Structure 1
Amino acid sequence: MPVTHVNRRRDTYYLHAGTTRTGKPGYWFSKSAEGDLVEAIPEDYEIYENPDAQVFLRKVQPQVITPFEVAVVERGLKRYAPDQNCMVDVRGEDIVVYHAERVTFDMDLPFFGVRELPPSYRNYMKVMRFTLIDEDERTFRVQRWCFRGSIDGWIDLWSSGGSGPLADLVERYLPHIGKESFYELI
C-alpha cells in the first residue's frame, strides 16, 4: 500500500521516489497515483504539511519548542483572537502564527451553499512569531511581519517589551492579530 496523506483541503497526496542529479534518493508528494510510489516512509523522515496545505517529506526536525509551548500559543489564539482564522507552525526555535482573512462573496454560490470561503481553502500569511532566546529560562522574543512591499520581513517588538515568558507575550500581542492596532506594534 503506497504512502498517502490527505491534507486539510481533503486532497490525497501520494509519496513518490526518484533519484537526484547526484544519484541520491529523492522523495516528493503528488496528487498523481501513477509512477514510482513509496510503500513506507523512509527512516528519519516525516510528512509535513505547511499552512498553505502543501505536503512535503522532510527529515525529522529536532524538537526545540515543547508541545506545551505550542499549546500556550494555540490556547492564546482561542482566548485573545477568537474570531480570527489563525494557524500555528513550528520552525526550529520559532513558533509562527499565520492568519487568513475572511473571504466573502457578493453572491450566493449554490454549489457551496455559503457566502464565505471555508477556512481550509483560505491562504494563510505569517503575521507573528515567537522565537526561543534562552533554552534554560525558556524566554522568547516576539516579532511581527511587516507588510510594506519594499521592507517585507520580521520587525522586532523590543521597544514595547517584546521579550520574556511566552505566556506574557501571548497575552500582550495576540489580541492585535486581525486588527488595525497590529500595524502600530513596533
Structure 2
Amino acid sequence: MYVMRKRPDGAIAALPEAYEVRENVYGQVSVRRRRPKLFTEAEEHMLASQLRRMRPFAHRLDIVGRTATVYASAMDRKCFAESLDAEFANGFADALTKTLAGRYSPDLVALFRARRKEKGARRPRFYPLLRFVIEDKNERLFAVERVCFTGDSGWLRLEVLPLSAAMLKYLPHLGKDSFFDLM
C-alpha cells in the first residue's frame, strides 16, 4: 500500500510501473493502479479547453473510466473575489518581505500571515453538474447526463451524440437558469 505524505521519510524513488498518482477535483491526492484511458487525448483537450474558455476557475473536469464529469464551483462571486484578493495578498506579502525586510513590525507580519493562512484553509468546493459517458467507443458516441436535483439525486440522461456536438449544445447552459430546463 502506498501513502501520500508531505514528509520525505520513507519516500520511494519512483512508483512501480503499474501505478499512478492521481488528484481529484477536491485536491485529494492518491496512488492507484494505472487504468486504461478510454477518452482520447484530443477529447480530453477539447473538453478542458472549452471549459477554460467559458469561465476559467468556475469548472473542473474529472475523467474516470468511460465518464467525464464537469464539476461547478460552489463559490459565489463574493467568495471568488476574496480568493483573488488572497492570491494577490500572497504575492504582495512575498514582494513586501523581499523589498521591505525589517521595516515593519513582527506583530504586523504575524497578523498578516495568520489571515493569509486562514483564507487559504477555505478551499473552493465543487459539485458534479454534467457528464459525458462513452456509449459507443467505436462510433465515439457519448451519453450526455445532467445531475438531478430532486430527491433521487441521480442523473438525467439527455441525449446520445458525438462529443463535439454535445459540447456545443450543452456546455453553454452551465451557470445559467436554462440548465434546469434541460430534460
After TM superposition, the structure 1 = structure 2 runs for residues 128-167 of structure 1, keeping only pairs within 5 Å, are: 128-148=130-150, 150-157=151-158, 162-167=159-164
Deviations 1:65-92 (A, max 9, x none): 101011121233244x336611111110
TM-score (structure 1 length as normaliser): 0.70
**AA matched with 1:30:** R
Q: Where do 1:45-124 residues align within 5 Å?
A: 45-79=19-53, 81-82=54-55, 85-103=58-76, 104-105=78-79, 112=86, 121-124=123-126
Gaps of 5+ in 2: 90-118
**2-structure distance, mates of 1:94, 1:60:** 16
Q: Offset of 1:27 from its aligned partner?
A: 1.2
Runs of at least 4 residues off by over 4 Å: none
8 Å CA contact 1:47–1:57 kept in 2: the answer is yes
Amino acid aligned to 1:137:
E
Helix, strand or coil at the partner of 2:175: coil
- Residues 58, 180 of structure 1: alpha-carbon distance in 2 compared, 3 angstrom cutoff: same
**CA RMSD, Structure 1 to Structure 2 (Å):** 2.7
Structure that is richer in strand per residue: 1
The one-letter code of the counterpart of 2:170 is Y
SS at match of 1:31: coil
Residue 124 of structure 2 aligns with an amino acid whose one-letter code is R
SS of 1:27's equivalent? coil
Structure 1 residues 181, 108: closer, same or farther in 2, change over 3 A?
A: closer
The structure with the greater share of residues assigned to helix is 2
Structure 2 counterpart of 1:90, one-letter code = I
Asked if the contact 1:131–1:141 (Cα under 8 Å) also holds between the matched residues in 2, the reply is yes
Number of the residue aligned with 1:12: none
2: CA distance, partners of 1:164 / 1:179: 22
Q: TM-score, normalised by structure 2?
A: 0.71
Give the CA deviation at 1:102.
3.2
Identity, in percent, stands at 30
Aligned residue type for 2:149: F
2:13 pairs, out of 7, 21, 39, with 39
Task: Assess if the C-alpha contact under 8 Å between 1:45 and 1:60 holds in 2.
Answer: yes
5+ long unaligned stretches in structure 1:
1-25
The count of aligned residue pairs is 149
